[in-house]
Structure 1
Amino acid sequence: MTPSLLVPFYEHPAERPDAWGALLAAAPRLYGVVLNPANGPGTAPDPAFADIAARLRAARVRVLGYTDTDYGRRPHAEVAADLLRHRDWYGTDGAFLDQVPTAPEAVPHVHRLAVAARAAGAGTLVLNHGAQPHPSYAPLADLLVTFEGPWDTYRDLDLPAGDRYCHLVYAAPADARVTSRVQCSVPGAGAHPWGTLPHALEAAR
């Protein structure tokens, strides 16, 4: 199995141009990159993010706009508005819905969000549950993130690792073995682990 990298890299392109360059250079290895200008699209377009999004698309990398669902508590209209801003401001061709609930009771709400994402042009939809969700979520998206957390927790788990599951692991050593085909393991820890690149890309810089 050759891993494919889904990279949530939450740093500004103007402040970390070398790191964004490493992502562009690794384009054939990427499942996609999560674009997150301001815990979502922000309140106004950011030209630096628009430029890097265009460069990623030119390199045939999926650009997934980050949108928080607050575990289903954010109103549908707010989430839909973020999806449209990502499309209109950054030309995203996919969506990364974060903090998605796992319980079956929330499936109808998430289904409406998935419909809104597709209507906003999301050719690829990723649901980040961060844990194993109820099976009813599987038909709603292209990829389910069924683990997001530190390596010390991940290494003791036995998680399903099918083609439609993704594991996001932080505070991970360079030799960490992540079992899902789509994955990302980074050295970063603490409150902002996704400000570091995957080990494989850091080593190549």
Structure 2
Amino acid sequence: MSTTEPRGHLLVPLYVHPSVDPEAWEVLAGESGRLYGVVLNAADGPGPYPDPAFTAAAARLRRAGVPLLGYVDTAYGARPARTVLRDVHRHRRWYGADGVFLDRVAADAASLPRYRRTVRAARLLGAATAVLNPGTHPDPRYAHLADLLVTFEGRWEDYRRAAVPEWTRSHPPYRFCHLVYAVPEHLGGEAARTAHERGAAVHCAVPGRGANPWRSAPLAADACGGEAG
């Protein structure tokens, strides 16, 4: 697990196909200095076979120096470990992913051993960065498993009322991430400042709504908020 501060403060789940919105991918290639990473999600994971459009888009981001994280669904611990690790391997082999974004992570203490084994195995497969997304504050011991822990994923209206438990203060801010959607475009800067004030050095805020709000990945730097002061 890395103990150094990340180079960027934006983690962007880019859940839109390059052929549908190529501009989103091109814009992010120019934001490499501000990006913690971009989450690749070809088909709720790497897909059953390499996607040429994703291969090309991922290569452009890599050339621009953007860290890539492969999306892997863990179904709150219900997916078999071999299936999860197969997806990790495919992201690495097909798209050159630098790390892994484990989604729908369980938050309870009983699941800790399973995720500890998963993260260790993912690193052996070449995942230099491991991000866990329970989408809420889990058992505090999850903070020791990964490089980055997503402790909020949800709507802006819910985020405005969200609380932060005291235990997070014992960890540096660059270990936490908040992902917020349905953010009014004129409040992107406020969302960034809120994440900073709540001890999360990494964040993303998008205006998207519906079943896949992350299809509206930022088309400009200020769409994911301004600098957190």
Short-chain TM bin: over 0.9
Counterpart of 2:138 (choices 127, 133, 138) is: 133
Question: Pick from 16, 19, 26: which aligns with 1:14?
Answer: 19
1:52 to 53, 57, 66: 57
Is the CA contact (8 Å cut-off) linking 1:186 and 1:199 kept in structure 2? no
Give how far 1:3 is off: 7.0
Structure 1 match to 2:209: 189
Partner of 1:33: 38
Deviation at 1:200, TM superposition (A): 5.0
Give the superposition deviation at 1:17: 0.9
Question: Aligned ranges for residues 82-121 of structure 1 at < 5 Å?
Answer: 82-121=87-126
Residue by residue over 1:156-204, the C-alpha shift from the partner in whole angstroms, topping out at 9 and shown as x without a partner, is: 1232572200000000123132312100000001111000123753659
Overall identity of the aligned pairs, in %: 53
Could you tell me whether the CA contact under 8 Å between 2:24 and 2:219 is conserved in 1?
no
Residue of structure 1 aligned with 2:218, choices 175, 198, 201? 198
Q: CA deviation at 1:8?
A: 0.2
8 Å CA contact retained: 1:185, 1:199: no
Tell me: CA distance 1:121–1:3, structure 2 relative to 1, closer, same or farther (3 Å).
closer
Residue 42 of structure 1 is matched in structure 2 by 47
Distance 2:175 2:24 in 1: 27
Q: Please say if residues 69 and 99 of structure 2, whose CA atoms lie closer than 8 Å, have aligned partners that are also in contact.
A: yes
Structure having the larger proportion of residues in helix? 2
Partner of 1:70: 75
- Tell me the residue number matched to 1:168: 179
RMSD: 1.8
| Worse-matched range after superposition: 54-63 or 95-104 | 54-63
Q: Does structure 2 conserve the Cα–Cα contact (< 8 Å) formed by 1:35 and 1:64?
A: yes
Letter in 2 for 1:53: A
C-alpha spacing 1:199/1:58, structure 2 compared with 1 (3 Å): closer
Q: TM-score, normalised by structure 1?
A: 0.94
* Structure 1 Cα separation of the partners of residues 21 and 121 of structure 2: 32
Report Cα offsets for 1:131-165 as digits up to 9, x if no partner.
Answer: 00111111211000000000110001232572200
Conserved 8 A contact 2:205-2:223: no
DSSP 3-state at the match of 2:174 = coil
Instruction: Give the aligned residue type for 1:169.
Output: V
Superposed displacement of residue 65, structure 1: 0.2
The aligned counterpart of 2:3 is none
Contact kept? 2:24, 2:218, Cα under 8 Å: no
> Which range moved further: 106-115 or 49-58?
49-58
Give 3-state SS (helix, strand or coil) of 1:166's partner: strand
Q: How many pairs are equivalent?
A: 203
